[in-house]
A and B are shown apart, each in its own frame.
Chain A
């Protein structure tokens, strides 16, 4: 009996040893073909399944560092430019990294699949010559509304930012927690543009913003949709991928594209100027721009794909979702947060006053 137990343990150990050897040898195989280091947002922003496929196909190992802010990525890149090959950063950060000379000029000859990118995304403000960045995920900020809840409070239906100021909505609005975005709501509600610098208009927006405070129940950047799902709030201003999740969890919630217009974000691939494995990085970029791969990424992450050729591979429910398949009409009414650096200090100060009310 005892002997049998012993042989069982030995057998298990041998299996374990074998498994470890296999894993190690597989790792060595990958190392022989090289590895690439990329960093970006966590939460499967680059789906693991896609990375696995790339690793299996090319033998190049992908190291994925999860980071929580564009500014963190900026400092990591500045501290160790030769440690990272690729990063995905938001539009305005491409602009900053480009100006501070951290980025490599991309060689389009090595990226035949770049032709799949929708031309409407060519020549953006953050990279006018398309030399430094490749768009990866497009998202917007919009309003998610519980129409029945709004009605129950006796408020008018919500069609734009201005409707958030109705006094019936006291303690019933959730918003993402960033000064530039919240000031943007006030500016747009007054009919101005994002990141206004004119002192008179900014002062006006400050007063407008202060009047919104009683309506806000919660500032939350990561999961604002939860507040609508569990009924803490009847309206929210959040990122489109969050609104998509909110509607999935509770189909009676409705997305509202604010009549005043809305912000758009484009997360882009950039390459470090001192990338240690540029060849591997090009292979990876080319891989994720394949139409069927780009379509799967879009479906897994719930971000709009800038890949035109991917559209026919997208599932039906994705194509029918107005938040994901942005119509030209909606796209025309979007704008970037340009020149954040010029307004950040003042907006942060106003935002602080706003929160301390």
Chain B
């Protein structure tokens, strides 16, 4: 009774999650074992076929593509985001608020629109090529669009605020007296960073990586627009199977498999952030 009273405020959100996340998820899970006829109508007949196809080598390559993209996106956002977060947390309060505000600002603009922005920037008749041509540095446009790297730039740009904010929280909580102690004991800046700062902010890095990795697995429109549809990722494939492929059970199986990958990543994060009392998820 006591616990119920204490947790009563959590009931609405639990009901909400149960109704709108839990039940649909069960539905998708069940769907992944069903068949469909050639017109795309779901047939209530049990089959392993969809799951067999998930482990077909050709589809495993799609998983590999997506994991590679998500991993590299995580890596790039951490490497680029760490200095930003570190410098921001060392600013005086007013400038710090401004810096955080500027980092969050792009979220106010539709992500689709921002992706088109990259196309305007990188295209053959885009801004960068036009400027380089006008300056006489190149005479043929540099082909920068529709490559794996273009997709990576797009996803990293889209998700980097998550990494910066997660690392910022971690750096901000860092006990500065530990750094002073390190200097007092004769360590230089470099030694202090690698022996004190980095290990203590590891939970923030892991949190930022996780927050970037998970959405990067499913961002399909970035690879469609910036990657020119040249490579297939999980998100694209699920999208195609739901619409033009008319195979919703197969799409359901891939969605569940994708969720399994996400859970795996979160559990790894859980281990790294075990000692951090204010972890992201637990």
A interface residue numbers (CB < 8 A to B): 68-69, 71-72, 74, 96, 99-100, 171, 177-179, 216-220, 230-232, 341-342, 344-345, 348-349, 352-353, 355-356
Contacts and interface: CB of A to CB of B under 8 A. Distances in A.
Interface string B132-169: 00000000010101100000000000000000000000
B228 A99 contact: no
A231 B124 contact: yes
Contacts of A74: 40
Contact of A344 (B145, B146, B246): B246
Contact of B231 (A71, A220, A345, A356): A356
A352 B40 contact: no
Nearest to A213: B230
A179 B62 CA distance: 17
Contacts, number: 76
B145 A232 contact: yes
B58 A352 contact: yes
A79 to B, nearest CB: 12
B90 interface: no
A217 B40 CA distance: 31
Given A100-B39, A100-B41, A232 B244 contact: no
Given A345-B245, A352-B58, A352-B59, 4 more contacts: A178-B244, A349-B58, A356-B58, A356-B65
Nearest to B247: A345
Nearest to B228: A218
B190 to A, nearest CB: 44
A349 B230 CA distance: 15
Contacts of A99: 39
A71 B38 contact: no
B207 interface: no
Nearest to B53: A349
B229 A219 contact: yes
A216 B237 CA distance: 19
Contact of A352 (B62, B224, B246): B62
Interface in B244-261: 244-247
B61 interface: yes
Interface of B: 38-41, 58-59, 61-62, 65, 123-125, 141, 143, 145-146, 224, 228-232, 237, 240-247
B229 A348 contact: no
Contacts of A179: 244-245
A353 B62 CA distance: 10
Contacts of A218: 145-146, 228-230
A68 B239 CA distance: 12
29 contacts: A71-B40, A71-B242, A71-B243, A71-B246, A96-B39, A99-B39, A100-B39, A171-B143, A177-B224, A217-B143, A217-B228, A218-B146, A218-B229, A218-B230, A219-B228, A219-B230, A230-B123, A231-B125, A232-B124, A342-B38, A345-B245, A348-B240, A348-B241, A349-B58, A352-B62, A353-B58, A355-B230, A355-B231, A356-B61
A96 B125 CA distance: 43
A177 B58 contact: no
Nearest to B244: A178
Contacts of A177: 224, 229
A352 B62 CA distance: 9
Contacts of B124: 230-232
B228 A355 contact: no
Nearest to B119: A226
B164 to A, nearest CB: 32
Contact of A356 (B62, B146, B228, B240): B62
Contacts of B224: 177
B244 A69 contact: yes
A74 to B, nearest CB: 7
A352 B232 contact: yes
A212 to B, nearest CB: 13
A81 to B, nearest CB: 14
Contacts of B59: 352
Contacts of B243: 68-69, 71-72
Most chain A CB neighbours (cut-off 10 Å) among B143, B230, B247: B230
Contacts of B228: 217-220
A177 B224 CA distance: 10
Nearest to A69: B243
Contacts of B245: 179, 344-345, 348
A68 B62 CA distance: 25
Contacts of B125: 230-231
Given A96-B39, A100-B41, A344-B246, A352 B229 contact: no
Contacts of A72: 243
Give the top 6 A-B pairs by smallest Cβ distance, nearest first: A219-B229, A218-B228, A341-B38, A230-B125, A69-B243, A232-B124
A352 B247 CA distance: 14
Contacts of A69: 243-244
